[in-house]
């Protein structure tokens, strides 16, 4: 009898609370992957045309698709990564593939109710039968003719996608297997000035090589030794507003193209608040101070509170008086914490900014400490803010290394537009935890650039604006940040057409510009933008995704293995219960069971002890009840 009762309860459980699941999209089907070709035999490169079918179980006007890809066959070990998201049509061109490589794909459908299960999975191999050419040679010092060990030789395709890199051995020798085509050869090594073949500094002066199938080519390369790098001292003092010394940690970020972190230098002040750190001549740096007791607002040099608008300091000698005056934090027992991870759930060192919305009447005062906070994550990507002014915030992660920045979105998708960010409400007490970022790898880069200028509608240069280049699929390929003069450079582009746009908090996005780059006549091109400040009323009326009601978000990633993030929001203090059930209605996990302040929350669900299959998660908060489906694939 108990078994029958349990079965009936399970049936009622499935049919009643899970009614909203019926509105979730159905999984796409009949996925196809076909290799396509561009160009002639010597300039030929490939792409993968994907297409699929779908059936709607409700309105399809807001139906979108996500494409997951892994390198290797379906049967290979390895993880599927969401490569493209929120695609509005049922076909796609994946042009970022390499010859001789096998790729596997599946597609999911997504709408306001969540993400479907995966489609059928397909794999495709890109022209593995084409015979490669062999290029071998030696890398040497062009002044002494001594061999250069541990150097890198890179073959950059003039047409197409993907580079081939090889290392030189202890005798300076290298051998590369390269598919037929036209290439530019680039060499670099520690202690030497990088150069293109034949020993030129700029790509448009490079001598191109043409390779055919089975060709054997000898290519000897030379590099010029760098002048001895000078080491200098950067120093200063950290005090509070009354002139008292503040014991602090100091971080010096060395930058490339005003945006990318090349390296860090760390130090700490002594009891008198003084510090000194070694830096390299020719570097451009940003300096950050954080009090050890965390009772003061952290700050970039010259009173700046945002990495984007922090002063860039050129190092050409000993640099002193890089001083800080830190302001006391208000005493609120609150904050925001979370982590920054890549798509493989590995922590990424990052700078995280929290921007308080709609506080000041002066929208141009971008560095008001009341509106922006900065924190640096640890080596595992964990970050935290404490003692924050209550209010509504959006957050931006600027990761170290070859990753793209993104504003926080609860579903884990990427955006460099502040109006598309999800907001987080910070009350007078309580830490909003699990505000986690998933940052995407930058694509294997090329050597072309886009540069330009960003200004406001009064002609004033706009510092700290993000400028990003989207490829033909409207996916962000690379980005830049404007300097104090409003100038930017987007580097690492492969030949092709891009849509370039600029965005800065408190300003309306610019109209995008279309540019084309190649390695012959348009190695570098330009695009400039004018951004219009928004009025105070507009900012307050258009705060992105301000919490106005209860909401349970679709977990991310979905499907998942073995962990996923479930996020939700509540507009007022509530008792929250969040549980996970199997398909029979049996409870398998309790994720939340307690009182929560108003705000946005995220929690990690670890299903390592569960079998693959369909599960459901349900939230109860006050009178609000909602249920969604999640899929565990092992």
Looking at the structure, do residues 500 and 595 belong to the same domain, yes or no?
no
> With a threshold of 0.75, does the pTM exceed it?
no
SS3 27: coil
Residue 387 lies in a domain: yes
Q: How far apart are CA 382 and CA 451, in angstroms?
A: 33
Tell me: do 286 and 358 sit in the same domain: no
Write the CB contacts of 577 (distance below 8 Å, at least 6 apart in sequence): 590, 592, 593, 619, 620, 621
33 and 110 housed in the same domain: yes
Do 208 and 261 fall into the same domain? no
120 and 28 fall within a common domain: yes
**CATH of residue 206:** 2.60.40.1120
Gap between the Cα atoms of 543 and 506, Å rounded: 10
CA distance 591 to 414: 26
Q: Is residue 14 part of a domain?
A: no
At 539 the pLDDT is 37
Residues of the chain with pLDDT under 50: 1-22, 42, 360-369, 536-545
Q: Is residue 588 one of the residues assigned to a domain?
A: yes
430 and 356 in one domain? yes
Of 480, 511, 541, the one marking the end of a domain is: 541
Identify whether 4 is part of a domain: no
Is residue 139 classed as helix, strand or coil in its secondary structure?
strand
Query: Phi/psi zone of residue 598: left (φ > 0), alpha (ψ -120 to 50 degrees), beta?
Result: beta
pLDDT tens per residue across span 169-215: 999 999 999 888 889 999 999 889 999 998 888 777 889 999 988 99
Alpha helix (H) residue ranges in 304-356: none
- In this prediction, residue 17 carries a pLDDT of 44
Specify whether 171 is located in the same domain as 213.
yes
Closest among 52, 158, 33 to 107, alpha carbons compared: 52
Domain boundary among 326, 349, 369: 326
For residue 367, give its domain range.
333-438
Contact status, residue 463 vs residue 309, Cβ threshold 8 Å: yes
Name the domain count of the chain: 6
Q: Are 45 and 181 in contact (CB under 8 A)?
A: yes
């Amino acid at each position: 009898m108990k078994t029958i009762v349990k079965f009936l309860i399970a049936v009622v459980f499935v049919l009643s609370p899970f009614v909203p699941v019926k509105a979730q999209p159905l999984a796409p089907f009949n996925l196809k992957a076909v290799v396509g070709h561009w160009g002639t035999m010597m300039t030929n490169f490939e792409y993968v045309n994907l297409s699929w079918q779908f059936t709607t179980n409700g309105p399809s006007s807001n139906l979108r698709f996500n494409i997951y890809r892994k390198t290797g066959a379906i049967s290979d070990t390895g993880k599927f990564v969401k490569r493209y998201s929120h695609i509005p049509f049922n076909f796609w061109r994946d042009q970022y593939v390499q010859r001789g490589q096998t790729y596997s794909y599946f597609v999911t459908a997504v709408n306001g109710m969540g993400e479907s299960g995966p489609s059928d999975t397909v794999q495709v191999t890109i022209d593995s039968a084409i015979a490669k050419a062999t290029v071998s040679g030696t890398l040497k010092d062009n002044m002494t003719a001594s061999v250069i060990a541990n150097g890198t030789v890179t073959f950059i395709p003039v047409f197409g996608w993907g580079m081939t890199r090889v290392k030189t051995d202890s005798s300076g020798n290298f051998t590369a297997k390269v598919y037929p085509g036209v290439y530019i050869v680039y060499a670099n090594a520690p202690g030497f000035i990088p150069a293109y073949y034949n020993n030129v500094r700029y790509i448009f002066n490079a001598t191109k090589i043409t390779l055919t199938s089975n060709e054997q080519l000898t290519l000897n390369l030379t590099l010029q030794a760098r002048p001895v790098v000078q080491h200098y001292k950067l120093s200063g003092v950290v005090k509070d507003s009354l002139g008292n010394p503040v014991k602090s940690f100091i971080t010096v970020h060395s930058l490339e193209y005003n945006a990318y972190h090349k390296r860090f230098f760390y130090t700490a002040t002594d009891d008198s608040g003084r510090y000194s750190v070694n830096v390299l001549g020719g570097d451009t740096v940003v300096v950050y101070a954080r009090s050890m007791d965390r009772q003061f607002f952290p700050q970039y040099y010259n009173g700046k509170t945002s990495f984007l608008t922090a002063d860039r300091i050129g190092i050409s000698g000993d640099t002193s008086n890089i001083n800080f005056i830190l302001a006391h934090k208000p005493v609120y027992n609150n904050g925001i914490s979370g982590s920054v991870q890549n798509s493989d759930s590995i922590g990424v060192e990052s700078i995280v900014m929290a921007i308080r919305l709609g506080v000041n009447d002066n929208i141009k005062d971008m560095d008001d400490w009341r509106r922006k906070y900065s924190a640096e994550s640890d080596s595992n990507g964990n970050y935290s803010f404490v003692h924050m002014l209550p209010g509504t915030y959006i957050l931006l992660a600027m990761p170290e290394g070859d990753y793209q920045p993104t504003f926080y979105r609860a579903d884990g998708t990427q955006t460099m537009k502040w109006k598309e960010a999800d907001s987080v409400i910070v009350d007078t007490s309580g830490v909003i935890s699990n505000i986690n970022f998933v940052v995407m790898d930058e694509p294997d880069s090329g050597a072309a650039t886009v540069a330009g200028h960003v200004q406001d509608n009064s002609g004033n240069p706009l510092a700290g604006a993000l400028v990003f280049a989207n490829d033909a699929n409207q996916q962000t390929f690379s980005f830049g940040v404007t300097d104090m003069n409003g100038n930017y450079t987007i580097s690492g582009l492969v030949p092709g057409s891009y849509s370039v746009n600029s965005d800065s908090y408190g300003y309306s996005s610019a109209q995008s510009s279309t540019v084309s780059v190649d390695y012959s006549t348009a190695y570098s091109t330009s695009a400039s933008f004018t951004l219009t400040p928004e009025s105070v009323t507009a900012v307050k009326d258009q705060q992105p995704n301000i919490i106005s009601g209860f909401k349970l978000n679709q977990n991310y990633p979905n499907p998942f293995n073995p962990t996923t993030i479930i996020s939700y929001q509540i507009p007022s203090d509530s008792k929250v219960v969040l549980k996970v059930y199997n398909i029979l209605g049996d409870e398998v996990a309790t994720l939340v069971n307690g009182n929560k302040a108003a705000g946005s929350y995220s929690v990690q669900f670890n299903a390592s002890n569960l079998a693959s299959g369909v599960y459901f998660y349900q939230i109860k908060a006050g009178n609000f009840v909602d249920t969604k489906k999640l899929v565990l694939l092992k």
